[in-house]
Amino acid sequence: MDPSQVKIPPMKDLTVDNITENVIRINSLCEDARMKYVLERLVTHLHDFVRETRLSSDEWMTGLRFLTEVGQICTDVRQEFILLSDVLGLSILVDSIDHPKPAGSTDGTVLGPFHTHDAEEMRAGDAMSHDPSGEPLLVVCSLRDMHGRPIDNVKIDIWETDSSGHYDVQYPGREGPDGRCIMRSDRDGIFWFKAITPVPYPIPHDGPVGKLLKKLHRHPYRPSHMHFMFEKEGYDHLITALYLRNDPYETSDAVFGVKDSLTVDIGKAGPDIAQKYSVPEGHALLTYDFVLVSDAETSELRAKNSKIALDKLGRKVQIVNGLPVPELD
């Protein structure tokens, strides 16, 4: 409908009970059906939140000040908003809905605030970490599709902390990337590299998100893990991580990222592996078989899940560009 033709009734004397429908009505001039739907639901939930909690003006201002601080501490290498989203369980929720995983595929998990775009492309067998205090770790992984076929030439972003639990971007004098690299899978879908055994670390807690955790009596630690991000045209972008089993924070990750399917044991290289990858026998070894899902498989599952979820809420929707919008009568 042409927005200029929409008749917006006069809005005045709005009350606790009718403010929501009026805000939604004026927002409905938006021509983008998806944006209109998202805004409608956002306003509805925000207003209901205020009505339910009977939010005071002081609390409202405290919230605004907090969000202001979150924004002010952000820099090119510090993303406090992602951190806030992570500790509220929002990041893992969005990932689970937007990147649903059929049985047999590799689960996704939180991106976290420490991915950068400047990692160097390395060749198979290269070392991504140069921390002499880290325990050397050989990582050998395979990459297949849902039908068990190897996937070659996938761009794989990998990043981890140093042995003290800090990412390179947390050092003020950072001159370039370390503890991160980009690899490509070979024609058998294999990629392998040298890293260090991950260690647990606290998320940055010297800012507003850290203060919030403290107030909630929550610790800021993440269990030992290594991040992976997979990209290839035709496949759903996979952001995931591998977690070490029996880590002290395995069941209390500050950002809710741990999944059983992503939890691994560090093994030891036997004679064959040691010879094949030129490491001493007994060298720490991490292996994992990743399974990627095609874009088409993901879109189908996402649409199916959306229909089921919104049907339960009694909302009639149609799927447009892979995302739900209200069905027109």
Cβ distance 263 to 241 under 8 Å? Answer: no
d(CA 137, CA 269): 10
d(CA 282, CA 304): 47
- Closest C-alpha among 220, 259, 228 to residue 243: 259
Residue nearest to Fe ion (CB): 112
DSSP codes joined into one string, 187-211: TTSEEEEEEE----EEPP-SSHHHH
Cβ distance 43 to 23 under 8 Å? Answer: yes
Of 189 and 220, the one with the shorter C-beta distance to Fe ion is 220
Of 112 and 210, the one with the shorter C-beta distance to Fe ion is 112
Nearest approach, Cβ of 189 to Fe ion (angstroms)? Answer: 25
Of 239 and 285, the one with the shorter C-beta distance to Fe ion is 239
Nearest approach, Cβ of 112 to Fe ion (angstroms)? Answer: 5
Of 112 and 179, the one with the shorter C-beta distance to Fe ion is 112
The alpha carbon of residue 213 and the mean position of all alpha carbons in its chain are separated, in whole angstroms, by 19
Of 100 and 112, the one with the shorter C-beta distance to Fe ion is 112
Nearest approach, Cβ of 13 to Fe ion (angstroms)? Answer: 52
d(CA 25, CA 141): 53
* C-alpha dist (Å) from residue 160 to 124, 131, 173: 17, 11, 18
Of 112 and 207, the one with the shorter C-beta distance to Fe ion is 112
Nearest approach, Cβ of 84 to Fe ion (angstroms)? Answer: 16
d(CA 250, CA 258): 7
- Alpha-helical (H) ranges within the chain are 19-27, 33-53, 57-73, 80-87, 90-98, 208-215, 271-276, 295-312
Nearest approach, Cβ of 119 to Fe ion (angstroms)? Answer: 14
Of 34 and 219, the one with the shorter C-beta distance to Fe ion is 219
- Closest C-alpha among 87, 72, 89, 110 to residue 213: 87
CA dihedral 253, 255, 256, 258 (to 10 degrees): -60
Per the document, the length of the chain is: 329
The alpha carbon of residue 286 and the mean position of all alpha carbons in its chain are separated, in whole angstroms, by 22
Nearest approach, Cβ of 114 to Fe ion (angstroms)? Answer: 6
Nearest approach, Cβ of 273 to Fe ion (angstroms)? Answer: 26
Of 238 and 293, the one with the shorter C-beta distance to Fe ion is 238
Nearest approach, Cβ of 75 to Fe ion (angstroms)? Answer: 18
Which residues of this chain interact with Fe ion, rule CB under 5 A?
112
